[in-house]
Structure 1
């Protein structure tokens, strides 16, 4: 790679691939192994890749007739909170990435809509939207600290796992409270 290509790739950042490194001849390819910092918004409300956390990319970029086919994996650490008990959780996500980035004026211009195919712009490929979308689709919308998490008691807010098995909060419908006062409660209370 020439010094100009090195400088251009460095300016573009770790999420960007310069397709001139691969060439436009179908069949040529190049492997990429790099770490890119996660931007803000790389996740969902309850679980996400923290901003700045490294996303490990192991990708192969292959030149094809219509553009560059990028395939491989992206791995990152997740942090968030359990949707039932709100305890902090951490996990790791690994996603498969496979996306065609079309060259300008390729056959894809006439065979697909603009939003169906990613594009090579000024010989550069921005991987961040593709990796972000793949990760977002793989994340649980309601992450759990464990599959059998019982959550919180709606009456006192304590975790069910920490409460006695007979824990209850008896509430009486105010419409029936007058009858309870008049007749002295239930048989169980006497």
Structure 2
């Protein structure tokens, strides 16, 4: 769709990838920072250590990707090499440029806002859930939900909320209600954007 409005397909694709990567980096940073406090919710250190190890590996992979233009195998075709170099350099300019910190900071703020929204939903349903528990546990839920094994996290999010919120005394039915309400709230929140997209979809830009 962006391509129809004059944006190069490669740039439009990269913007979507950068959005997902920045969100993933943000949630991994939150998990790494909050890991000392997450231990209190588990009977052993193994779950937290597993998440921290996985998050650390992903962060290392992201760092390696930023310098992967220097690690391109020489046997690759030149056309493919050029595409990889262009993508990596664009990625580096986004995340290591002057706006890189802002991008990650905004992503972290969005994750915190999501946690606050979940807490407000719980309060509206008279479910006892401490805000500090939500702020600490929601990044873990979002991290698990980001695994690409479902559509928009549906199913995975519900299961992870049942397990994670169950550790702080939230009943299964209540955790499922919170998750479903959150998913529906996200759908409702996307309606204005969908309306704008639909209106723009019927306006074909003038071309010279």
TM-score, with length taken from structure 1: 0.26
**Which structure has more helix as a fraction of its residues?**
2
**Which structure has more strand as a fraction of its residues?**
1
Larger radius of gyration: 1
